[in-house]
Chain A
Amino acid sequence: MDITMIYYLVPALIMFCCGVYGFITRRNMIAMLISLELMLNAVDINFVVFNRYLFPGQMEGMFFTLFAIAIAAAETAISIAIIINVYRSVKNVKVDDLTEMKN
């Protein structure tokens, strides 16, 4: 059996979808961020897999992943800062409670 590219892409996609599911269903904002990490991770896998399978001669996908990890770290950092800030203000990290502004 050949482990062709699709065998990597599909788990990555499932990972992404799990992230989506988690992001939409989780009430805790930190849990939402965790789900988001899954999505970002899925993207990274995609880049790496494409690079490895289709374009082994260059390193674009790999570098993108490298930078994406850094970006993910930055995103997480700032998101958590904001969430903690909110926690300080309302003593809560439930996303459902942050619906004051609507319509």
Chain B
Amino acid sequence: MDYTQFLAMKQEIWLLIAFIFVFLLDTFMPKKDQDKVGVICCLLFGLLTLRGFCPTVLGDQLAFGGMYETSTVIVNIKNILNIGVLIVMIQGLRWSAQDMVKIRRGEFYELLLATLFGMYLMISARHFLLFVIGLETASLPLAAMVAFDKHRYESHEAAVKYVLTAVFSSAVFMMGLSYVYGLTGSLYFSNIATALTAQGSSWLLIVALAFVIAGIGFKLSLVPFHLWTADVYQGAPTPVTSYLSVISKGAAAFAFLVILWQVFGSVYSQAWEWMMYALIILTITVGNLFAIRQRNMKRFLAFSSISQAGYIMLGIEAMNPMGLSALMFYILVYIFSNLAAFGVIGAIENATGKVYMQDYNGLYKTNPRLAFTMMLAMFSLAGIPPFAGFFSKFFIFTGAINQGSIAIYVLVLIALINTIISLYYYLLVVKAMFISDEESTVAKFNSSMSERVAMWICVAGILCLGIVSCVYNHLLAIAA
């Protein structure tokens, strides 16, 4: 029994320490200093994030008999998630200081850290048991977070929908796993892969795989496993929505990639290639079609994030290092873009309680900075150069086409045509803010320091990530 193996899990352990620290702080801090919990938590997590970039955490290692893996790529993806979580935390400061919420704000940060821990496990797990635990850790406490706004009915409804779909999908997922186990006799990724290479594809495997894909597809909100998404995003408190839409999705995407490549890589063309084609096309198209009509900004972004998930899947479909790097880069850019959008939505919601698109009419005249940030976010999500979104989209397409078959060209073409639809609805927001002649219903207001900091970070990311090529070059270098 070699307990030094825990040292491989530096990031997880630091995260847990932070978690416990916040827990203790929240429990034992005097009532009057409670409002500092959020800031302390942000600072702490900021340090943690910075620490992630230290060279000491790097290095490939398999621990716990191959159950846990850490590598440069994994550390990087965790760092990417950390950045996102940090922004979410900063954005959440103002929200968590509200009267209705502040009594529970310590728990908000604790749950945030706990679910992040779950995501770390999902990413690092090389054994399905650990993976399932990670998955559940990442999704169950989130249900509590979704239900955080007790004074809002939508929050309850969203929580119910989330938790019921989540447990159902975990049941389906585990059902699939049980068949995989039956076929291969192991839950270690490497062993399964070896066994599958030997036996190839079968009905049972494909059905099991479909269940597995459905289980993770739930987290990624791939169509047709996406139906909870919009309702939950709409109902959840805005910081939780942004957390769900970027961090949870990003982690799931990477975990999905690991599972499909490492575990089922050998049955790529025999099993999941076509499944993924179908899912990608469905996801992008249906997400887009639903997004066209939405007028609630959070719901709108929910559908937009569904279709974004489809683009992320293209990186998985590529089955090559370029796809991996493009996926990481896409998630990174997506974090900044989407969080910028949610930052603006949250700021406006906190100040005025308005979340509908028509409330954004003429926003530029009253709150030009918010409008500008929102526009950048929309352009980046739509993939307009020179913003980061363009680069991420371009690279993910390039990565996908690297796979080389004619089918992938068709797939990419469909995805590209869908970008037009998505551009349409992103422009609707821009139109409301800049073009609409109506008087703005949102009066001029000053957003809080924390919101501004978060937005500045996001804007900086949107503007710089693409043009400053070293980020992607780094990701590509480590992926190769």
Q: What A residues does B177 contact at CB under 8 A?
A: 43, 64
A71 vs B181: C-alpha distance when bound (angstroms)? 18
Tally of A-B Cβ pairs under 8 angstroms: 120
Known: A64-B129, A78-B163. A85 touches B168 (CB 8 A): no
Q: Kindly identify, within residues 128 to 156 of chain B, every residue whose CB is under 8 Å from any CB belonging to chain A.
A: 128-129, 132-133, 136, 140-141, 143-144, 147, 150, 153-154, 156
Q: What A residues does B140 contact at CB under 8 A?
A: 74-75, 78
A68 vs B174: C-alpha distance when bound (angstroms)? 9
Q: Kindly identify, within residues 30 to 81 of chain A, every residue whose CB is under 8 Å from any CB belonging to chain B.
A: 32-33, 36, 39-40, 42-43, 46-47, 50-51, 54-55, 58, 60-61, 63-64, 67-68, 71, 74-75, 78-79, 81
Shortest beta-carbon distance, B471 to chain A, in Å? 37
Whether B181 pairs with A64 at a CB distance below 8 angstroms is yes
Q: What A residues does B144 contact at CB under 8 A?
A: 78, 81-82
A83 within 8 A of B: yes
Shortest beta-carbon distance, A42 to chain B, in Å? 7
Shortest beta-carbon distance, B333 to chain A, in Å? 29
A46 vs B132: C-alpha distance when bound (angstroms)? 16
Whether B174 pairs with A43 at a CB distance below 8 angstroms is yes
Q: Which of B133, B154, B156, B235 has the most CB of A within 10 A?
A: B156
Whether A55 pairs with B185 at a CB distance below 8 angstroms is yes
Q: What A residues does B416 contact at CB under 8 A?
A: none
Shortest beta-carbon distance, A55 to chain B, in Å? 4
Whether B157 pairs with A98 at a CB distance below 8 angstroms is yes
B159 within 8 A of A: yes
Q: Which of A75, A78, A81 has the most CB of B within 10 A?
A: A78
Whether B156 pairs with A71 at a CB distance below 8 angstroms is no
Interface size in chain A (residues, C-beta < 8 A): 42
B35 within 8 A of A: no
Whether B158 pairs with A101 at a CB distance below 8 angstroms is yes
Whether B160 pairs with A78 at a CB distance below 8 angstroms is no
A19 vs B174: C-alpha distance when bound (angstroms)? 14
In the complex, residue of chain B having the shortest beta-carbon distance to the beta carbon of A48? B178
A103 vs B172: C-alpha distance when bound (angstroms)? 25
Whether B171 pairs with A39 at a CB distance below 8 angstroms is yes
Q: What A residues does B141 contact at CB under 8 A?
A: 78
In the complex, residue of chain B having the shortest beta-carbon distance to the beta carbon of A32? B164
Known: A79-B163, A82-B144, A82-B163. A40 touches B174 (CB 8 A): yes
Whether A54 pairs with B147 at a CB distance below 8 angstroms is no
Known: A85-B150, A98-B157, A100-B153. A36 touches B168 (CB 8 A): yes
A82 vs B113: C-alpha distance when bound (angstroms)? 20
Q: Which of B132, B140, B163, B179 has the most CB of A within 10 A?
A: B163
Q: What B residues does A63 contact at CB under 8 A?
A: 129
Whether B175 pairs with A46 at a CB distance below 8 angstroms is yes
A98 vs B235: C-alpha distance when bound (angstroms)? 12
A50 vs B176: C-alpha distance when bound (angstroms)? 13
Whether A71 pairs with B133 at a CB distance below 8 angstroms is yes
In the complex, residue of chain A having the shortest beta-carbon distance to the beta carbon of B167? A75
B107 within 8 A of A: no
CB contact between B161 and one of A54, A75, A98 (< 8 Å): that residue: A98
B186 within 8 A of A: yes
Whether B182 pairs with A50 at a CB distance below 8 angstroms is yes
Q: Which of B132, B154, B157, B171 has the most CB of A within 10 A?
A: B171
A15 vs B150: C-alpha distance when bound (angstroms)? 36
A14 vs B168: C-alpha distance when bound (angstroms)? 16
B187 within 8 A of A: yes
In the complex, residue of chain A having the shortest beta-carbon distance to the beta carbon of B151? A89
CB contact between A29 and one of B160, B168, B179, B231 (< 8 Å): that residue: B160
Whether A60 pairs with B181 at a CB distance below 8 angstroms is yes
Known: A23-B168, A89-B153. A67 touches B147 (CB 8 A): no
In the complex, residue of chain B having the shortest beta-carbon distance to the beta carbon of A100? B157
Q: Kindly identify, within residues 411 to 439 of chain B, every residue whose CB is under 8 Å from any CB belonging to chain A.
A: none
A89 vs B172: C-alpha distance when bound (angstroms)? 30
Known: A60-B186, A100-B154, A102-B231. A43 touches B175 (CB 8 A): yes
A61 vs B140: C-alpha distance when bound (angstroms)? 23
A98 vs B231: C-alpha distance when bound (angstroms)? 11
Q: Which 10 A-B pairs have the closest CB atoms?
A: A46-B178, A50-B182, A39-B171, A101-B231, A43-B174, A55-B185, A98-B157, A86-B156, A75-B167, A82-B159
Seen from chain A, the residues whose Cβ lies within 8 Å of a Cβ on chain B are 16, 19, 23, 29, 32-33, 36, 39-40, 42-43, 46-47, 50-51, 54-55, 58, 60-61, 63-64, 67-68, 71, 74-75, 78-79, 81-83, 85-86, 89-90, 95, 98, 100-103
**Between-chain CB contacts (< 8 Å), 14 pairs:** A19-B171, A29-B164, A39-B168, A43-B175, A46-B178, A50-B178, A55-B186, A60-B181, A68-B132, A75-B170, A78-B141, A82-B143, A101-B230, A101-B234
